Amino acid sequence: MEPTDRNAAKPRLTHAQWKRRKRLRLARNWAILILVCAAIVALMTKGILWLLPKVNAMLAGPQSFDAASYDGTGYSFDADDERFVLVNTNLPFAEEPSPALADADEASGIQLEAEAAAAYQKMAAAAAEDGIALVLTAGYQDADARSAAYETQKQQYLEKGKTEEEAASLAADIQPPAECNDHGTGYAADILSTDYPTRDTGFDTTRAYEWLTAYAAEYGFILRYPQDRQAATGVVFEPWHWRYVGVENALAIRASGLSLEEFLALQKAS
């Protein structure tokens, strides 16, 4: 067999073949161009759809949390409702309570009375849908835990030079003694947020507090120690301390603008 001559000239294309190849090349280039343009348009569309809500949110400002109106027309007060259990410095526990407990937050193991625990979980889930990450920092506390909290608070005043009597009185305004502490009921919940984990009055400047003020009653929780009701509660303003009383009760109390003490006294007197 004779060797192939690789340098032999390739046959020239006919005019018809050249035109056909040109058309194929042109069609291929147009197809590539169309695919590239389509990809660019798709990416731009996806980017615009992603960006538009954020731009709108920036222009509109933060979402407003507004409480639904409640006229209380159908509200019926039940003085025997166990969720109304009241404890304060004037009404200490007659005996140590033993509420039926359940985990309100599985991660921390913090417990509340079973109904309150379920309500808190629903509330935390609803808050999360609005971009609010609630954090349950305290729930039910037994007598030893409540005593330790009170003694710690009292010791801080003693270290500041207060007398035993002065320290005891000042401590009770912030951290009631064990027999007067709402956390023994199982219905009290200390709630903060991931962006404000400190238990102080600055929590009332947060979006989480704004959300709770608007919607907590819809899940059965009220602010236990409001800023403008300190004379009635005997405890300083605690924006993190919420108390479960049931949905209808909570809505009625929120609508009244009263503390738990005042609301119960008013209802029992009427």
Length of the chain: 270
| Chain segment 151-208, per-residue pLDDT in tens | 999 999 999 999 999 889 888 888 899 999 999 999 999 999 999 999 999 999 999 9
**Residue 169 neighbours by CB distance under 10 Å:** 14
Q: What per-residue confidence (pLDDT) applies to 208?
A: 98
In the CATH hierarchy, which fold is given to the domain comprising 82-141+181-269?
Answer: Muramoyl-pentapeptide Carboxypeptidase; domain 2 (3.30.1380)
pLDDT in tens, 72-101: 888 999 999 999 999 999 999 999 999 999
Q: Give residue 223's identity as a one-letter amino acid code.
A: L
**Which among 266, 225, 262 has a CA at the least distance from the CA of 243?**
225
pLDDT tens-digit map of 206-253: 999 999 999 999 999 999 999 999 999 999 999 999 999 999 999 999
CB atoms within 10 A of CB 153: 19
> Band of the pLDDT at 121, cuts 50, 70, 90?
very high
What integer pLDDT is reported at residue 54 of this predicted model? 55
Strand order in the sheet with 188-193: 134-138, 188-193, 241-244, 221-223
Least-confidence region, from 18-22, 108-112, 203-207: 18-22
Let me know: does 88 contact 235? Beta carbons within 8 Å. Answer: yes
Which band of pLDDT confidence, cut at 50, 70 and 90, is reported for residue 16?
A: confident
The confidence score (pLDDT) of residue 5 equals 55
pLDDT of residue 51: 67
Distance CA 208, CA 193 (A): 6
Q: Which two tokens stand for residue 260?
A: 């738990």
Percent of all residues in the chain with a pLDDT value above 90, rounded to a whole number: 68
Say how many Å lie between the first and final Cα of the chain, rounded.
121
What residue segments make up the domains of the chain, in order of their start? 16-59, 82-141+181-269
Please list, residue by residue across 222-237, b when 16 or more beta carbons sit within 10 angstroms of its beta carbon and e when fewer do.
bbbbbeebeebbbbeb
What is the chain's mean pLDDT, rounded? Answer: 89
DSSP state of 171: H
The residue that leads in pLDDT, 95 or 9, is 95
Residue 20: predicted pLDDT: 78
Give the residue-averaged pLDDT of 37-42. 82
**Alpha carbon distances (Å) from 132 to 124, 135, 208, 214, 225:** 8, 10, 6, 13, 22
H or E element that contains 188: strand 188-193
Q: Which of 268, 263, 235, 239 is nearest to 250 (CA)?
A: 263
Range with lowest mean pLDDT among 40-44, 63-67, 227-231: 40-44
**Residue 4 has what pLDDT?**
53
pLDDT > 70: what percent of the chain?
91
pLDDT level of residue 1 (50, 70, 90 thresholds): very low
pTM, rounded to two decimals: 0.76
In this prediction, residues 21-37 reach a mean pLDDT of: 81
